[in-house]
A and B are shown apart, each in its own frame.
Chain A
């Protein structure tokens, strides 16, 4: 056994907590989770059945924590998990799982399969069986502070650009303001208009806000690879930045896993409550709408639909706010089949889009989204996650579907009257 396998198996043992033990013992092998997973439904390959992706971990559970399993192991009737087996499972645990949690939502006995996959990733990562793409993102996060290697000068350049484009100053390191706006690397690199849209909206509603030179990055590669220690470090940077600036609310960007990491797991990761509130930008916009602060003009007359990011809708429970916002700007808003809580993933979440060798499978899985879109024939597709946006665009391009994809925050900002 190699040292890394030892470590991986040890971590997997440690990861098997009471919920996981009860999940394994209560699984009735019904296979319903398979029908919920787009990697299974679009390929028909049974290896993509979500619960099967956990097979090495299940064997360790059985061999270590059940009487029959221990006996079977002792008499040689149950084989140990091998390095080759974990290597084979890498594709199942990373490439073909976006942590979308559709499987958890349909499990009839309530097994949170995505929770188990994340714990499995901890062991896979410790064993050295995580994809190079995600490893690279983690290394950059440790060394630079951003999974995509974005440094403060790049953020400052984007700020300057947004200031010129929108004619609105972008505040940096302002103490005592209401909101700390965090960004994902994706927005800094690919969608600088997001920052300009935020500036326009904040001026319109009369709220104070700032970026932080120490906590501009919200993307959490630690969560994606399955490394709680790293996830904690990344969350701690945001917490330190927010507390230093004494803000009331930290706004998570249009990035699914950044939201889950900060909003739902952040306080547990750092082991204490936050001194501030965390909200996704969609939740903040909804508050502005409900308070009557968003006074928009004009309605889009083309047909719009909304792609729910899994971490926002299914994992975060934010479903109605984006619809309320869409109805403020769209005369013809249509819902795709399964929209909302049971929406289908874009196919690239949970770090999957950074795995180059997984591209072919991602495009195969995209057929589900293609069918959803074909059912309603929209003129534009709106979403609220920068990663979804690019994965959707790549899928649309691959299948030659001429459909613009836009961000919700920018869409709202476009309907704000010029000051």
Chain B
């Protein structure tokens, strides 16, 4: 399967069942983990890729991810630290993955937050508005879908 644009990307996410969608989305977000040092976010995504994750475990992970998200807001009047802000958006993306049910729109939302994180990194580096995260997400989702092919 080849994904070349956002419509195909959204359709591919929508076609998955809940567990696969959470797993696939978590894989997408993991690609942006270089933008956050927060272990709570990493732990949340590690749990999200497991289909046997139960609601209680997800709730604990969600609490940690939420704390990471709130802690990385840039407060009003503070100097914008775009590197820290990238970390915030990774946490926001991860938040969708640790919900018991992840809808197609939630998966898309998470992907967009991860792209936003990469934009923040680009702003911090003074690299303008170019964002290659979308393309990277297409390839990651293709890889995930291909790995699922042939599985029962």
Contact = CB atoms under 8 A, between A and B. Distances in A.
A289 interface: no
Given A160-B131, A190-B73, A190-B88, A397 B78 contact: no
Given A164-B6, A165-B112, A190-B88, A157 B75 contact: no
B70 A160 contact: no
Interface stretch (B16-24, B38-46, B114-122, B141-149): B114-122
B60 to A, nearest CB: 12
Interface string B104-130: 000000001001100100110010110
B77 A353 contact: yes
Contact of B77 (A147, A161, A167): A147
B31 interface: no
B128 A157 contact: yes
B79 A153 contact: no
Residue among B75, B119, B129 facing the most chain A CB atoms (10 A cut-off): B75
Contacts, number: 91
A248 interface: no
A353 B75 contact: yes
A220 to B, nearest CB: 11
Interface in A249-277: none
A107 interface: no
A247 B129 CA distance: 27
A148 B79 contact: yes
B78 to A, nearest CB: 6
A136 interface: yes
A393 B73 contact: yes
Nearest to A154: B123
Given A161-B116, A190-B88, A351 B77 contact: yes
B131 A161 contact: yes
B76 interface: yes
Contacts of A160: 119, 129, 131
Given A153-B128, A156-B129, A157-B122, A164 B134 contact: yes
B70 A134 contact: no
B51 interface: no
B77 A397 contact: no
Contacts of A153: 123, 126, 128-129
Interface string A384-395: 001100100110
A161 B85 contact: no
A394 B128 CA distance: 31
Contacts of A165: 112
A136 B134 CA distance: 36
Interface in B41-66: 63, 66
A47 interface: no
Contact of A390 (B63, B75, B115): B75
A12 B75 CA distance: 30
Contacts of A140: 79
Interface string A68-80: 0000000000000
A137 B77 contact: yes
Interface of B: 6, 63, 66-67, 70-71, 73-80, 82, 85, 88, 112, 115-116, 119, 122-123, 126, 128-129, 131, 134
30 contacts: A136-B79, A140-B79, A148-B76, A148-B77, A148-B80, A149-B79, A153-B123, A153-B126, A153-B128, A154-B82, A157-B129, A157-B131, A160-B129, A160-B131, A161-B116, A164-B134, A167-B6, A185-B76, A189-B74, A190-B88, A351-B76, A353-B76, A354-B78, A390-B76, A393-B73, A397-B66, A397-B70, A397-B71, A402-B63, A402-B66
Given A165-B112, A186-B76, 13 more contacts: A134-B77, A153-B126, A157-B123, A158-B119, A161-B115, A185-B76, A185-B80, A186-B74, A189-B80, A354-B75, A386-B76, A394-B73, A402-B66
Q: Which 6 A-B pairs have the closest CB atoms?
A: A354-B77, A137-B77, A157-B129, A387-B76, A397-B70, A148-B80
